[in-house]
Amino acid sequence: MNIEAKDVLIRMLATPNPYALKFVLNVPLKNKGRATFYSKEDCSDLPLFHSLFDISGVKQIFVFQNQMTFTHDGSLSEQDIEKQVTAVIGTRIAVHNPDFLSFEEREVPVSSSESPKKEKSPEVLKVEQILDRTVRPGLQADGGDLEVLSVDENEVRISYQGACGGCPSAMMGTLEAIENILRYETGKENLKVIPI
């Protein structure tokens, strides 16, 4: 797929998190799954995202389909961020491969010193299915998401991604809603959701 900058439309949207901006493009950034980057090293083989970390104050980049959430430290105005993100996309979109695998999706060779990618437990898969149906669409509409890290008895550990990371509403109302939905759907009245 050969995309030229002149063919790319970019729209910046505010999110509930004052330190996160959502960018929606008319071309895919990631065809399958999602990815979160916290540093240049996380995306050294991906020129588009690698170059975005040259923008002052970037803390995290979350990518899902044709959307990217840019989380920052507040040192630049939204207009400056929009201008710089648009410029980077314009110069890097032609070499971007939306079929890239995130770090979590990559298979680690058995001969490596790292352990191979873990399969999700049935409990985690069940919680993922509930969240896919009930919570994720709303989070993704606001430029965020969450990852289920573990499910143990009456405890679900999650990690917020994108605009949800560091968002005041994610730690209060959203967390309570997730907990209530999972309690109802699983029948576990004492279930606790713990953000990591």
Are 98 and 62 in contact by the 8 Å Cβ rule? The answer is no
| Nearest Cα to Cα of residue 147 among 80, 62, 79 | 62
Say which range, 10-14, 32-36, 106-110, has the weakest mean pLDDT: 106-110
Instruction: Map the chain to HEC letters.
Output: CCCCHHHCCEEEEECCCCCEEEEEECCCCEEEEEEEECCHHHHCCCHHHHHHCCCCCEEEEEEEECEEEEEECCCCCHHHHHHHHHHHHHHHHHHCCCCCCCCCCCCCCCCCCCCCCCCCCHHHHHHHHHHHHHCHHHHHHCCEEEEEEEEECCEEEEEEEECCCCCHHHHHHHHHHHHHHHHHHHCCCCCEEEEC
| Nearest Cα to Cα of residue 68 among 162, 169, 137 | 162
Q: Which residue has tokens 């669409």?
A: 137
- Which pLDDT belongs to residue 90? 93
**pLDDT tens by residue, 60-88:** 999 999 999 999 999 999 999 999 999 99
- Which pLDDT belongs to residue 143? 87
Task: Calculate what percentage of the chain has a pLDDT beyond 70.
Answer: 92
Residue 2 has pLDDT above 80, yes or no: no
Say which range, 28-32, 150-154, 161-165, has the weakest mean pLDDT: 161-165
Q: How far apart are the first and last CA of the chain?
A: 38
